[in-house]
């Protein structure tokens, strides 16, 4: 069950890496993606060898990604500075990257939140109307 | 330097992160972005050189290929300097700790 979290964590890191390397020089891009892939595999294999729980592995994977986001931005900006034509791509990247960062943070919180039991069925709603009270009798001075 | 002491000459990124965490007694490894940006800079500065391992090795071991880093002659010299500076600082720190107030 929790193995699913490790798989999701790895997918999020891969997606993030694909995103921040999008539109770069293919040599640089492919090298970074392959290096992160290798690191993810090594971390997972090493943690399992040491008997770490899958939930902890998933959290470790995501924490390493989130803590490295500022450096990913800087690295991307350094590459963009070297290549002026990729400026527009970098702006697009910054906007999309922020969205992915928030989504990853949401996943991290969601994976740590216990699932709530289903709510009980709501009681049936019955509308009750009462007739208005009768008008008061006329005052005695007006009776002739 | 710690990896060199074990007799290895080439290291991959995860191995470096693991060794750094062990040395600092930290549970969390260096973030991907921080680690690989730093390694890239060291390579650009000429302190490290890297190569991808032969594709047959990861295929045989059923894992992704590793990028292996190695210290250059310039890197060796910088590591030696850092080691000597650290050794020079260590006794001074000890003297300060042992000196009466």
Residues of chain A positioned with their CB less than 8 A from the CB of B48: none
> Can you read off the two tokens belonging to residue B24?
């600092």
Are A38 and B34 in contact (CB < 8 Å)? no
Residue B99 in domain:
no
B40 in a domain, yes or no?
A: yes
Show contacts of B78-83: CB within 8 Å, 24+ apart: B78/B47, B79/B1, B79/B4, B82/B1, B83/B1
Could you state, in order of their start, the residue ranges of all structural domains in chain A?
A: 3-112
A38–B67 C-beta distance less than 8 A: yes
Looking at residue A142, what DSSP letter applies? G
- Identify the pLDDT of residue B94: 60
Kindly tell me the burial class for residue B36, based on how many C-beta atoms sit within 10 Å of its own C-beta (0-12, 13-18, 19 or more). buried
Cross-chain residue pair A39–B32, CB shorter than 8 Å: yes
pLDDT tens by residue, A26-82: 999 999 999 999 999 999 999 999 999 999 999 999 999 999 999 999 999 888 877
Indicate the average pLDDT of chain A: 85
| Domain-located, residue B33 | yes
Residue-level pLDDT at A101 = 78
To probe the interface with A, which of B21, B33, B64 has the most A CB atoms within 10 Å?
B33
In a domain, B87, yes or no: no
DSSP 8-state class, residue A85 = G
Q: Tell me which residue in A13, A43, A71 faces B37 most closely, judged by beta carbons.
A: A71
**pLDDT band with cut points at 50, 70 and 90 for residue B46:** very high
ipTM confidence: 0.79
* pLDDT above 90: residue A109: no
* Interatomic CA distance for residues A47 and A32, integer angstroms: 22
Q: Which domain holds residue B26?
A: 2-72
Nearest C-alpha of chain A: how many angstroms from B92? Answer: 35
pLDDT in tens, B49-59: 999 999 999 99
Asked whether the predicted pLDDT for residue A143 surpasses 60, the reply is no
Residue B42 belongs to a domain: yes
Question: Which residues of chain A neighbour B34 with C-beta distances below 8 Å?
Answer: 67-68, 71
The structure tokens listed for A136 are: 């008061």
Q: Chain A residue with minimal CA distance to B40?
A: A75
**Which of B12, B32, B52 is closest, CB to CB, to A68?**
B32
pLDDT tens-digit map of B70-101 = 999 999 999 899 888 888 887 666 656 556 54
Put simply, the answer to whether B31 touches A71 (Cβ < 8 Å) is yes
Question: Domain total for chain B?
Answer: 1
Cα atoms found within 13 Å of the Cα of residue A60, Cβ hemisphere only: 23
- Asked whether the beta carbons of residue A75 and residue B14 sit closer than 8 angstroms, the reply is no
Per-residue model confidence (pLDDT) at position B91: 65
Specify whether the CB–CB gap between B73 and B45 falls below 8 A. Answer: no
Task: Tell me whether residues B64 and A38 touch, CB distance under 8 A.
Answer: yes
CATH number at residue B65: 1.10.10.10
Q: Are A35 and B37 in contact (CB under 8 A)?
A: no
Residue predicted with more confidence, B4 or B64: B64
């Amino acid at each position: 069950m929790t193995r699913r979290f490790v798989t999701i964590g790895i997918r999020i890191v891969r997606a993030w890496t694909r995103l921040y390397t999008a539109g770069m020089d293919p040599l640089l891009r492919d090298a970074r993606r392959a290096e992160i892939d290798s690191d993810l595999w090594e971390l997972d294999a090493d943690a399992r060898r040491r008997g770490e729980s899958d939930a902890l592995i998933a959290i470790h994977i995501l924490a390493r990604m989130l803590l490295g986001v500022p450096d990913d931005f800087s690295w991307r900006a350094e590459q963009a500075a070297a290549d002026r034509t990729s400026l527009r791509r970098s702006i697009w990247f910054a906007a999309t990257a922020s969205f992915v960062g928030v989504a990853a943070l949401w996943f991290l919180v969601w994976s740590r939140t216990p699932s709530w039991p289903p709510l009980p069925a709501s009681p049936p709603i019955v509308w009750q109307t009462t007739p208005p009270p009768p008008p008061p009798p006329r005052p005695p001075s007006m009776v002739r | 330097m710690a990896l060199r002491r074990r007799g290895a000459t080439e290291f991959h990124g995860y191995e470096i992160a693991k060794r750094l965490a062990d040395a600092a007694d930290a549970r969390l490894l260096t973030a991907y972005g921080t680690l690989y940006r730093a390694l890239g800079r060291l390579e650009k500065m000429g302190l490290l050189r890297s190569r991808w391992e032969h594709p047959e090795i990861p295929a045989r071991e059923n894992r992704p290929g590793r990028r292996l880093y190695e210290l250059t002659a310039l890197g060796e010299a910088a590591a030696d300097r850092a080691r000597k500076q650290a050794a020079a600082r260590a006794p001074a720190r000890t003297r300060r700790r042992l000196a009466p107030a």
